[in-house]
Amino acid sequence: MRRVALHFGLLLTCAVILLPILWVVRTSFLPEPLSYSPELMPAATLDNYVALFTSTRYGQSYLNSLIVALGSVVVALPFAAMTGYAFARFKTGGRTGRFAVLATQMLPPVAIVLPAFALLRTVGLTNSLTGLIIVYAAVNLPFLIWILMGFFDGIPVDLEWAAQTDGATAWGAFWRIVLPVSLPGIAAAGVLGFILTWNEFLFALVLSGPQTATVPVALASLQTSNGVQIAKVSAGVVLAVLPLVIASRFIQRFIVQGLTFGSVK
């Protein structure tokens, strides 16, 4: 009876998590205007998905999100790797430096979005993908530093000492030994940075325009004088979640590899 109760609780938890997702998927295939139907998939249609790319700018926003998310990760990862390695190996800045980096994550986005807008306007990067990439790279950098610092702490320092004994410099040991060993951790940090950028709404709303809007802003704009088009929004949500589902599969494997790669075998 204890095992039955445990499995029943797990099934109930899965149902609570999955049913809203399945309902959104179901709604995305229903024709507008929506009407209640007890059937699981009544009169399924792809019109909502087609309308997203023909009558709205959702396709452009989807491409913008991909460019901004990937670009911010590419810009932030090298700085995060070098800073995280300095914190892990050389204790640069001590605990004060580490917590100063972490403290920047405690600032609410609304407190820094207006200064970011003023800086971008000064250099002429408002309403541009380049400005969004720079802002997201800077915002996600402290989080990526702490993620990578944990992975670098798990790599035995003996590997670097052995490389330096053979004549490698500290930079050579980092480039030839530490980075290849920590690639799973770097990949996991990159996927996390991608997810954070993909889901962010406030900075994209303030710093972008009609041509540079991202997916969250595009979804928020799917409303007419008659109200929100629920079926079309559901279709947009399904498409928006797909990259995150794929990224989640990758991040699970990379995190496991990162935890095992730091061990001495």
Q: Nearest Cα to 135, choosing from 158, 114, 156, 153?
A: 114
The pLDDT assigned to 263 comes to 45
In angstroms, the CA 241 to CA 35 distance is: 25
Residues in CB range of 251: below 8 A, 6 or more apart:
187, 188, 191, 192
In angstroms, the CA 102 to CA 116 distance is: 19
Residue span(s) of the chain under CATH 1.10.3720.10 come to: 48-261
Q: Tell me the two tokens of residue 69.
A: 């998310």
The pLDDT assigned to 156 comes to 84
The pLDDT assigned to 37 comes to 57
The pLDDT assigned to 88 comes to 87
Number of H helices, E strands in the chain: 13, 2
* Rg, the chain, Cα only: 23
Tens-digit pLDDT string for the chain (265 aa): 899 999 999 999 998 998 888 888 888 888 876 655 555 566 778 888 998 998 889 999 999 999 999 999 999 999 999 999 999 888 887 788 888 888 888 888 888 999 999 999 999 998 999 999 999 999 999 999 988 888 888 888 888 888 888 888 888 888 888 888 888 888 888 888 999 999 999 999 999 988 999 999 999 888 766 677 888 889 999 999 998 888 777 777 665 655 454 444 4
Fold of 48-261: MetI-like fold (1.10.3720)
Q: Tell me the two tokens of residue 66.
A: 């991909």
Residue bearing tokens 């300095």: 86
